[in-house]
């Protein structure tokens, strides 16, 4: 691994860390700044669920470091590929990359991959507050573990439209024991081999906004079998191998108290004067063997939980007895609403507020369960622990029962509550072009694929951004992919003719026009199966104008919500349903739009949009050093 440094906050070197962090604070107070990070991507041994496995980590850790920034900051990540034989890229999910489309981190689309031993600097501005994340966007490197959180707070002196006392990031993911290279082979095998369901769901919780920089105080909570949860919880929690969240909640006399971390040279004094004269504080107890945090005293507490869903399955998150107030989605403020459970699809992010206002003599369950697929993965459980009760005291009641995996009415009810906060940007009242995208499962020469309007995306060797900018006509299919599908297509049946074709054409969008996309779901290859697909758009947010059942038709337009549709970058299509989106093609570049379930993208479930590429500035050579752009630049020179 050699020497690796994570600017501004190295995890390894305490002194430098303190110095770094003080520097950050000093500079931050002067306004927006550039935050430099130096990352190395490499494979590591890790035990995400107690079973040792190889994961793709950053700077020796998994998940990767959390980036915390403020609106207006520039993020500069100097990435070195320390893998042995694999290229790598990192996508900054939810960041629109205005003016820096080559930093979107999508292989074959925005840049050439970073080859082993080589570097690339991702430099981009974060222009909106919200919950974001980053992840690999090449092969199935997201599934391999290449991801982390990216949290953008409001600029210095600005305020969020809600209040909270503490802040956590919660990464929800799933984990397969099978090596991702083998998963890739499975998905491209003839006959097809489905990779199966994940072995576990993982919840990775980090405390944020803490001077003490608790990046290392990651809380890893393995899923355990709900049928045996009591027995296994007792086995798991005191083992010292796992970490857990402790929300302390006792009455606290006014004044300063020391929060001491034994085995650590650091002690921080924190004291927050809250509304009504009460004190608020968050404590983390880490039960690992690398040091222990203990908070002695406590408070009524209100926290923001920023949740991000990384991989394949959709989750329902349930917080026992504690209602959650959803206030942000995909970096956009929502009309706050209260819920005790929430659906989260791969690629979505939320902020939720919750308050520790229940009986402080007990602990409570937090659970996550599979949504939209028949669950073969155990419910993930952790404990909301009221101090000073021991964290190993299990809640007296059984874990909350999640809604049935196929209770789509429940899901739709949740989804329909998501509306933009008053004062949010409104969509244009009309569109210039409508693109209807039929999602079907197909076969090509015996291979199982997903296709959009009967074209299964097969990414080209030369990234689109450079190819389009330099007019390299052989880099991809010049034929435009279809804007529509046959009106006769019967979405409730398996395809009559399942054959599809590979393609990699581009939807060329007129710059600054308004685009409507109607995502149309259909039956898969097997009868009576239609899956959930969360579609994610790069480079833009879109307004979600509406969801509906069956085949979209002109009359459905009347139901569009043009008043307060939520701005998102990811939206789900329900089984046999449609979802209508609107966005303005105002970001020069080439942008992926795809199902965020990684195996589905790998099987061709995506399209590519491009707009205003002639407005794109000088693309760094490193992003062009492959395929036809590389050839062009090198040939010109040697002739």
Please check whether residue 316 is in contact with residue 280, taking contact to mean a CB–CB distance below 8 angstroms: no
How many Å apart are CA 457 and CA 595, to the nearest integer? 11
Q: How far is the CB of 186 from its own copies (least distance, A)?
A: 8
The full DSSP string for 172-206 is: EEEE-SS-HHHHHHHHT-SS-------SEEEEEEE
Q: How far is the CB of 400 from its own copies (least distance, A)?
A: 38
How many Å apart are CA 575 and CA 436, to the nearest integer? 16
Spacing of C-alpha 499 from chain mean position: 33
Q: How far is the CB of 539 from its own copies (least distance, A)?
A: 23
Beta-sheet pairing, 447-452 with 533-537: unpaired
Q: How far is the CB of 188 from its own copies (least distance, A)?
A: 8
How many Å apart are CA 383 and CA 320, to the nearest integer? 10
Helix (H) or strand (E) holding 21: helix 14-28
Own/partner contacts of 191-197, CB < 8 Å, gap of 24 or more, are 191/446, 191/448, 192/447, 192/448, 195/599, 196/376, 197/313, 197/370, 197/373, 197/375, 197/376, 197/377
Q: How far is the CB of 422 from its own copies (least distance, A)?
A: 45
Please check whether residue 171 is in contact with residue 308, taking contact to mean a CB–CB distance below 8 angstroms: yes
How many Å apart are CA 438 and CA 535, to the nearest integer? 12
Q: Would you say 404 or 631 has its CB closer to its own copies?
A: 631
Q: How far is the CB of 86 from its own copies (least distance, A)?
A: 4
How many Å apart are CA 409 and CA 491, to the nearest integer? 20
Q: How far is the CB of 179 from its own copies (least distance, A)?
A: 5
Beta-sheet pairing, 34-46 with 53-58: antiparallel
Q: Would you say 78 or 296 has its CB closer to its own copies?
A: 78
Please check whether residue 416 is in contact with residue 583, taking contact to mean a CB–CB distance below 8 angstroms: no
Q: How far is the CB of 146 from its own copies (least distance, A)?
A: 11
Please check whether residue 174 is in contact with residue 599, taking contact to mean a CB–CB distance below 8 angstroms: no
Q: Would you say 458 or 586 has its CB closer to its own copies?
A: 458
Q: Would you say 119 or 561 has its CB closer to its own copies?
A: 119
Q: Would you say 184 or 406 has its CB closer to its own copies?
A: 184
Residues that bind its own copies (CB under 8 A): 1-2, 43-45, 54, 84-88, 113, 115-118, 138-141, 179, 181-182, 184-185, 188-190, 445, 460-461, 621, 624-627, 630-631, 633-638
Q: How far is the CB of 182 from its own copies (least distance, A)?
A: 5
Give the ranges where 217-372 is alpha helix by DSSP (H).
229-236
Helix, strand or coil for residue 53? Answer: strand
Q: Would you say 42 or 215 has its CB closer to its own copies?
A: 42
The full DSSP string for 225-242 is: -GGGHHHHHHHHGGGSS-
Q: Would you say 279 or 602 has its CB closer to its own copies?
A: 602
Q: Would you say 1 or 234 has its CB closer to its own copies?
A: 1
Q: Would you say 19 or 45 has its CB closer to its own copies?
A: 45
């Amino acid at each position: 691994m050699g020497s690796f440094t994570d600017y501004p906050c190295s995890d390894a070197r305490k002194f430098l860390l303190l110095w770094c962090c003080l520097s950050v604070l000093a500079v931050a107070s002067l306004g927006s700044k550039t935050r430099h990070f130096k990352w190395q991507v490499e494979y590591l041994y890790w035990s995400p669920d107690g079973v040792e496995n190889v994961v793709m980590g950053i700077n020796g850790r998994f998940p990767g470091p959390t980036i915390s920034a403020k609106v207006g900051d520039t993020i500069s990540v100097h990435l070195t590929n320390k893998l042995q034989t694999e290229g790598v890229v990192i996508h900054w999910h939810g960041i629109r990359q205005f003016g820096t489309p080559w930093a979107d981190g999508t292989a074959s689309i925005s840049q050439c991959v970073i080859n082993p031993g080589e570097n690339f600097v991702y430099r981009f501005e974060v222009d909106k507050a919200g919950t974001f994340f980053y992840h690999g966007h090449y092969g199935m490197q997201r599934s391999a573990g290449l991801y982390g959180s990216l949290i953008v707070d409001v600029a210095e002196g600005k305020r969020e439209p809600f209040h909270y006392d503490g802040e956590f990031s919660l990464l929800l993911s799933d984990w397969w024991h099978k090596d991702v290279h083998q998963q890739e082979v499975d998905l491209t095998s003839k006959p097809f081999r489905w990779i199966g369901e994940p072995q576990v769901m993982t919840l990775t919780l980090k405390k944020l906004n803490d001077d003490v920089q608790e990046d290392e105080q990651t809380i890893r909570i393995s899923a355990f079998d709900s049928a045996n949860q009591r027995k296994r919880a007792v086995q798991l929690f005191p083992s010292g191998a796992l970490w857990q969240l402790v929300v302390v909640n006792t009455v606290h006399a006014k004044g300063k108290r020391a929060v001491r971390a034994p085995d650590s040279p650091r002690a921080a004094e924190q004291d927050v004067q809250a509304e009504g004269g009460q004190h608020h504080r968050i404590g983390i107890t880490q039960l690992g063997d690398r040091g222990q945090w203990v908070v002695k005293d406590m408070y009524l507490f209100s926290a923001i939980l920023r949740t991000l869903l990384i991989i394949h399955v959709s989750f329902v998150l349930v917080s026992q007895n504690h209602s959650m107030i959803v206030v942000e989605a995909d970096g956009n403020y929502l009309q706050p609403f209260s819920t005790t459970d929430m659906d989260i699809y791969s690629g979505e992010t939320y902020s939720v507020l919750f308050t520790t206002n229940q009986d402080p003599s007990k602990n409570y369950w937090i659970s996550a369960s599979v949504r939209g697929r028949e669950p073969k993965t155990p419910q993930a459980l952790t404990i909301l622990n009221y101090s000073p009760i021991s964290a190993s005291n299990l809640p007296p009641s059984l874990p909350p029962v999640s809604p049935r995996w196929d209770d789509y009415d429940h899901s739709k009810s949740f989804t329909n509550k998501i509306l933009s906060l008053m004062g949010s940007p409104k969509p244009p009242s009309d569109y210039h072009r409508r693109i209807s995208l039929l999602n079907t499962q197909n076969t090509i020469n015996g291979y199982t694929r997903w296709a959009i309007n009967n074209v299964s995306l097969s990414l080209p060797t030369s990234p689109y951004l450079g190819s389009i900018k330099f007019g390299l006509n052989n880099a991809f299919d010049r034929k435009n992919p279809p804007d529509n599908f046959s009106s006769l297509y019967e979405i409730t049946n398996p395809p009559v003719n399942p054959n599809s074709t590979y393609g990699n054409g581009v939807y060329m969008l007129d710059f600054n026009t308004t685009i409507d996309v109607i995502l149309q779901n259909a039956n898969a290859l097997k009868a009576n199966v239609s899956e959930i697909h969360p579609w994610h758009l790069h480079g833009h947010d879109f307004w979600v104008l509406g969801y509906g059942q069956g085949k979209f038709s002109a009359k459905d337009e009347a139901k569009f919500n043009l008043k307060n549709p939520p701005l998102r970058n990811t939206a789900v299509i329900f089984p046999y349903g449609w979802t209508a989106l609107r966005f303005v093609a105002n970001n020069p570049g080439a942008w992926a739009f795809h199902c965020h379930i990684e195996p589905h993208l790998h099987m061709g479930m995506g399209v590519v949009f491009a707009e205003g590429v002639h407005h794109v500035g000088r693309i760094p050579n490193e992003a062009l050093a492959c395929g036809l752009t590389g050839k062009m630049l090198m040939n010109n020179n040697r002739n």
